[in-house]
């Protein structure tokens, strides 16, 4: 089940909200826990047992970690290792076994399917165990609130990666208000619009350009493909995060932000402070800093970064292009730390152009296998391709207004203008409410008229 589906909006979400607010406060976590399992098991019910086993193992070993953390740290570390090892082994088996088998020439397991959301909920579970060992979070004594933390359906499938320390207080007590609920609805609808109206349209345009490139490759078409890839993944993934945050507010939760206008970044370091913030934070806290971070000398620090970015690419998928994608960004981060950052700081327009070019080519690596990557990269610089033809120019002219809207939506300018308008004009708030309603109706019409459209990050 996906958020951008009629069955979710008019069946699942409606029933869940009704049941949640119908029961007393003390039962609301249980309602969320049960109905989140229903949400998860809608398409693949057999993997509910796997997720429950992951939850139970972390919950049970958490008592051992807490009991021995001060008295016998080595024993607590053993419990931590077992807890993390169990959950990590599930992720490694389902996501990477066939990849490693094919790499060494062994037979893959036929029919081995990646459980939806396992990369996300495994990281959440591991963060609890590690933070408990460090003494950063209290022990989860009750199973239902802990199970709710892991299975909470708004962020279960594709993030944000919510750490236990960020929501443990909210699991015990949270404020559910009309204003927070309304804010959640608005945020959800905006995210839905970003995904369906902008993200899906950018994906369709990229597909048309790729089809055209098979018959008549052009450099302009290749650059437009890069642009559409960039818009597609941003509006799809940030749209999902907006919907997750909005749904969380409807149930009284406040999740951490996952995006902060990444395409206005002026360096790759800046980009990764703005893109998929919760994943970057996770790797920083649980991999980079424990390895020594940048406190161990420049060369060792670069090696630590390499480990983080190899794992970041590997987390995204069991394929060589994802690992290449991670190491590609590592290279630019190293260059910026070494000398490039000082040059970029002197020229703001140049630094922004540099960041966009590096990010755009990064998405080319992300979306393509190595063979297709080589071909498209060649087209970008005119290898085996003319600059443009009539069909690409015609398509560009037709889609130019859409591309300009996408570019504007990647900046904080619309939000800033609306904030100023609300301060000066009292009727703007009412207009925004009407606009949100119209956007929702437009999204519903889109869903009625189009087939199933999953989110990109569902596959991770």
Which among 179, 183, 201, 191 is positioned nearest to 155, based on CA atoms?
191
Which among 150, 143, 144, 147 is positioned nearest to 123, based on CA atoms?
150
Per the CB < 8 A criterion, the answer to whether 307 and 289 are in contact is no
CA dihedral 251, 252, 253, 259 (to 10 degrees): 80
Give the DSSP H/E element, type plus range, for residue 227.
helix 219-250
Half-sphere exposure of 306 (CA within 13 A, CB side): 8
* Tokens read off for 219: 């450099």
Please state, in angstroms and rounded to a whole number, the distance separating the CA atoms of residues 364 and 321. Answer: 10
Which among 92, 170, 81, 171 is positioned nearest to 130, based on CA atoms?
81
What pairs with residue 386 in β-bridges?
A: 218
Per the CB < 8 A criterion, the answer to whether 196 and 453 are in contact is yes
* Tokens read off for 354: 């540099």
Angle between helices 73-103 and 48-68 (to 10 degrees): 150
Q: Is 15 helix (H, G, I), strand (E, B) or coil?
A: helix
Please state, in angstroms and rounded to a whole number, the distance separating the CA atoms of residues 147 and 142. Answer: 9
Residues contacting residue 19 through CB under 8 Å, at least 6 positions apart: 31, 35
Please state, in angstroms and rounded to a whole number, the distance separating the CA atoms of residues 162 and 184. Answer: 17
User: Which of 232, 316, 379, 394 is the catalytic position?
Assistant: 316
316 tagged catalytic: yes
What is the DSSP code (8-state) at residue 142? S
**Catalytically active residues, by annotation:** 316
């Amino acid at each position: 089940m996906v958020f951008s589906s009629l069955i979710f909006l008019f069946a699942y979400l409606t029933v869940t909200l009704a049941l949640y607010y119908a029961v007393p406060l003390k039962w609301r976590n249980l309602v969320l826990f049960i109905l989140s399992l229903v949400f998860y098991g809608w398409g693949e019910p057999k993997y509910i047992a796997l997720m429950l086993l992951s939850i139970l193992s972390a919950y049970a070993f958490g008592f051992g970690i807490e009991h021995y953390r001060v008295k016998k740290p080595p024993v607590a570390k053993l419990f931590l290792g077992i807890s993390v090892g169990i959950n990590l082994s599930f992720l490694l088996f389902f996501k990477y076994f066939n990849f490693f088998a094919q790499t060494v020439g062994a037979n893959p397991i036929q029919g081995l399917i990646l459980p939806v959301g396992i990369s996300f909920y495994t990281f959440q579970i591991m963060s609890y165990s590690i933070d408990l060992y460090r003494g950063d979070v209290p022990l989860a004594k009750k199973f239902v609130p802990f199970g709710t933390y892991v299975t909470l359906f708004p962020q279960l499938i594709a993030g944000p990666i919510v750490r236990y320390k960020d929501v443990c207080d909210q699991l015990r007590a949270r404020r559910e208000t009309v204003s927070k609920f309304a804010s959640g609805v608005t945020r959800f609808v905006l995210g839905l619009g970003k995904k369906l109206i902008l993200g899906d349209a950018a994906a369709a345009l990229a597909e048309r350009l790729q089809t055209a490139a098979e018959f008549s490759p052009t450099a302009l078409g290749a650059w437009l493909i890069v642009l559409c890839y960039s818009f597609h993944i941003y509006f799809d993934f940030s749209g999902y995060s907006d919907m997750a945050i909005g749904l969380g507010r409807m149930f009284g939760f406040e999740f951490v932000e996952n995006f902060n206008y990444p395409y206005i970044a002026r360096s790759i370091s800046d980009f990764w402070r703005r893109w998929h913030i919760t994943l970057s934070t996770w790797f920083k806290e649980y991999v980079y800093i424990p390895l020594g971070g940048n406190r161990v000398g420049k060369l060792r620090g670069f090696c630590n970064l390499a480990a983080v970015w190899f794992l970041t690419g590997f987390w995204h998928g069991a394929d060589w292009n994802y690992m290449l994608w991670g190491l590609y960004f590592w290279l630019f981060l190293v260059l910026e730390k070494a000398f490039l950052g000082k040059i970029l700081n002197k020229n703001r327009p140049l630094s922004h152009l540099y960041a966009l070019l590096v990010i755009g080519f990064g998405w080319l690596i992300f979306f393509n296998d190595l063979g297709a990557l080589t071909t498209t990269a060649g087209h970008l610089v005119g290898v085996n391709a003319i600059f443009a033809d009539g069909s690409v120019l015609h398509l560009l002219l037709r889609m130019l207004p859409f591309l300009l809207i996408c570019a504007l939506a990647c900046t904080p300018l619309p939000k800033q203008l609306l904030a100023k308008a609300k301060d000066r004009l009292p009727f703007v708030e009412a207009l925004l409410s009407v606009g949100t309603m119209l956007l929702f109706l437009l999204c519903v019409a889109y869903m009625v008229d189009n087939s199933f459209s999953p989110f990109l990050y569902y596959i991770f």
